Chains A and B, each alone.
Chain A
Amino acid sequence: MLQFILKRLGLAILVAITVSFISFSLLFLSGDPAAALAGETASGEDIEALRRLYGFDRPMLVQYFDWLASALRGDFGESYYFKLPVAGLIFDRLEVTMLLGVCGISFALLVAVPLGVAAAMRPNSIIDRLALFMSVAGQALPSFWFGLILIVVFAIKLGWLPPSGTTSWQNFVMPTIVLGYYAMPAIMRLTRAGMLEVLNSDYIRTARAKGASEVRVMFKHALRNAIIPVVSLAAVQMGFMLGGSIVVESIFALHGAGYLAWESIARNDLPTVQALILIFSMFYIVFTFLADVLNAWLDPRMRSS
């Protein structure tokens, strides 16, 4: 197991280095950064001056290591737009996004996994149909529309929850539901399909032949095997929620990192975009690593491969 973790960790670090290089070179892929910085009316001399000031005249590899060293110290440079350190800008907003992501995925898992198990236990029953309906509805319902409906009902009509802001935990209830709801259909379908397949397998029959109760058969023998693909999916969904919660963040006016990324792209604020891409990619890598470790713990066959 330890060997497996170390191997995966090494792999994750390699991927992280590659990704960091790619996000660094984004600055250059989008044209001459000095020219972009100087604006359209700048003279050639101004651009040259900026080039020297920001160090764009040095060899690229030198610039990369310089940038990486700063990034590792938590220094991502200064935002072109806000004229403030990028790190401070991001970390404020990352907190909101992280909280939202963790709540969203937990909510999705807590609803979708039991629902998928229940649906698999009784295929074609009422509960299975309900689950199918929810997943179809979930896929068909756009997040912004669902979010607005929630705001109308729970914030405006009933007045139970605040419609926007980040001041208390209540602000996070509706965004969590909207974000989680988006991830639920896939998790539910995958759990159901996995359970149906596992329940047909010979070792489930063996467990029953031993005299194990249905609950034990479901949760000890079946779920552990059926949940493995769900873990990988949840890791991807979680990464997606961090970067892709822009819609939800804007509906509920939660100024998170997703929203910042959106704004910064529009403003050509390259250091901020670069830092956000790097950070989101690192989260992806961390989640994938954690999912691999969790799966290896769930399925011993993965450890040896």
Chain B
Amino acid sequence: MTKPLLSVQNLTIDIPVGGGTLHAVRGIDFTLDRGEVLCIVGESGSGKSLTSLALMGLLGKRISCTADQMDFDGTALLEASPRKMRSLRGARMSMIFQEPMTSLNPAYTIGDQLMEAMLLHENVPRSKARARAIDLLEKVGITAAASRLGQYPHQLSGGLRQRVMIAMALMCGPELIIADEPTTALDVTIQAQILRLLVDLVREMNMAMILITHDLGVVARVADKVAVMYAGQLVETGPARDVFSQPLHPYTRGLLHCIPQPGKTARGEPLGTIPGIVPSLVGEVEGCVFRTRCEHAVPACHAAIPRRERGDHAFRCVHEDGHAPDDTRAKEATDA
């Protein structure tokens, strides 16, 4: 078996805050093979963006980041020198951010910024970078690409800017693309368009992608693997098909219950919601973080939670199959 392109083990991110330490990401593991699409889902504040910034080495000095392993194609990202990281960023791994309106430098033309992405890494003449930029702008569906090069970000709509950001991420033909909610800030009408475009390009260029999204419909369509993140942990990971057909963690089931499913959800039937809020992650966090919102919570949820594996499909729950045995639940109910 060949080594995965990306392997992460026990990634932990701590942020010093006013009242102590915010344990924003608490020991997550995943791997990604070349050409594979991993979707990370989970509600806001669960640590998805921090995880992707950690991979890119963009967390900044204030935030502490440790891992037993965080390797990209044999390079230990946490030990790599700043120079080594720079040579990877934008060249072999690129990132697309959530905020297209503010992610382009207002002072430079689209062309300058696109070409820069290539000229920083490859010793090619400007004309070649320019040709590549035009080529990619056309690929991301921008018409009159050549004339766009001279335009400034403020002259483009949000959707166009995000297309430019996608083109920019592709300039050096990276092996890994990290897209952090790339369409959340856009009009609903173009969200699907842009995501489809991104996914098609990733498949066409045979890149690996980590896609962070709230859109489970998209996940179902494009993901090879799914990781469900909750309060800094991956509560469930596995091949997309398995996670969708047999969600094991109560949180995952809750999430899937929140979207209509063809054939399963009857018209007019109310969609599920998950009551409650994410607990604070400042200070020590013990036991299962989801227990306060979980229908299957039992006293044992306060203790350490085992990681259970069924082949590639893994989840963290005290219950062997993610369900409380019926008698315990009945007992809880009478206790309450």
| Chain A residues in 8 Å Cβ range of B168 | 206, 210
B152 touches A210 (CB 8 A): no
Complex interface bits, B40-65 against A, C-beta within 8 A gives 1, otherwise 0: 00000000000000001010000000
| Chain B residues in 8 Å Cβ range of A203 | 102-106
Complex interface bits, B82-95 against A, C-beta within 8 A gives 1, otherwise 0: 10001111110011
B320 within 8 A of A: no
A221 touches B120 (CB 8 A): no
B132 within 8 A of A: no
Take A211-B89, A211-B90 as given contacts and tell me if A206 and B103 are in contact as well, using a CB distance cutoff of 8 Å: yes
Write the nearest CB–CB distance from B314 to chain A, whole angstroms: 30
A267 within 8 A of B: no
| Chain B residues in 8 Å Cβ range of A52 | none
B144 within 8 A of A: no
Complex interface bits, B258-289 against A, C-beta within 8 A gives 1, otherwise 0: 00000000000000000000000000000000
A211 touches B121 (CB 8 A): yes
User: Given A202, A209, A301, which contacts B56 in the complex, CB threshold below 8 Å?
Assistant: A209
A46 within 8 A of B: no
B107 touches A209 (CB 8 A): no
A26 within 8 A of B: no
Query: Which range contains the number of B residues in contact with the other chain?
Result: 20 to 34
A16 within 8 A of B: no
Number of A-B contacts (CB under 8 A): 67
A209 touches B120 (CB 8 A): no
| Chain A residues in 8 Å Cβ range of B224 | none
B97 within 8 A of A: yes
Interface residues of B in 230-272 (CB under 8 A from A): none
Write the nearest CB–CB distance from A243 to chain B, whole angstroms: 33
State the CA gap A210–B89 with chains docked (Å): 6
B154 within 8 A of A: yes
B106 touches A300 (CB 8 A): yes
| Chain B residues in 8 Å Cβ range of A301 | 106, 152, 154
State the CA gap A206–B165 with chains docked (Å): 9
Interface residues of B in 93-119 (CB under 8 A from A): 94-95, 97, 99, 102-107, 116-117
A210 touches B120 (CB 8 A): yes
State the CA gap A224–B106 with chains docked (Å): 10
| Chain B residues in 8 Å Cβ range of A202 | 97, 99, 102-103
State the CA gap A148–B99 with chains docked (Å): 55
State the CA gap A208–B85 with chains docked (Å): 10
State the CA gap A209–B165 with chains docked (Å): 11
A interface majority secondary structure: helix
State the CA gap A213–B107 with chains docked (Å): 18
A298 within 8 A of B: yes
| Chain B residues in 8 Å Cβ range of A224 | 107
Complex interface bits, A174-218 against B, C-beta within 8 A gives 1, otherwise 0: 000000000000000000000000000111011111111110000
A225 within 8 A of B: yes
User: Given A205, A206, A211, A212, which contacts B88 in the complex, CB threshold below 8 Å?
Assistant: A211
| Chain A residues in 8 Å Cβ range of B120 | 210-212
| Chain A residues in 8 Å Cβ range of B95 | 209
Write the nearest CB–CB distance from B244 to chain A, whole angstroms: 31
| Chain B residues in 8 Å Cβ range of A208 | 58, 89
A212 touches B99 (CB 8 A): no
State the CA gap A207–B323 with chains docked (Å): 47
| Chain B residues in 8 Å Cβ range of A304 | 154-155
A299 within 8 A of B: yes
The residue in chain B whose Cβ has the minimal distance to the Cβ of A214 is B82
A209 touches B58 (CB 8 A): yes
User: Given A201, A209, A221, which contacts B90 in the complex, CB threshold below 8 Å?
Assistant: A209
| Chain A residues in 8 Å Cβ range of B87 | 211
Write the nearest CB–CB distance from A195 to chain B, whole angstroms: 14
The residue in chain B whose Cβ has the minimal distance to the Cβ of A205 is B58
Write the nearest CB–CB distance from B273 to chain A, whole angstroms: 31
Interface residues of B in 286-319 (CB under 8 A from A): none
Write the nearest CB–CB distance from A193 to chain B, whole angstroms: 18
Write the nearest CB–CB distance from A231 to chain B, whole angstroms: 13
State the CA gap A211–B94 with chains docked (Å): 9
Given contacts A212-B116, A212-B120, A300-B152, 5 further A-B contacts (CB under 8 A): A202-B99, A203-B106, A206-B104, A210-B89, A301-B106
Q: List 15 A-B contacts (CB under 8 A).
A: A203-B102, A203-B103, A203-B106, A205-B103, A206-B105, A206-B168, A209-B56, A210-B116, A211-B88, A212-B116, A225-B105, A300-B106, A300-B154, A301-B152, A304-B154
Considering the complex of A and B, which 10 residue pairs feature the smallest CB-CB distances, nearest first? Answer: A211-B90, A210-B90, A202-B102, A211-B89, A203-B105, A300-B152, A202-B103, A211-B86, A209-B95, A206-B103
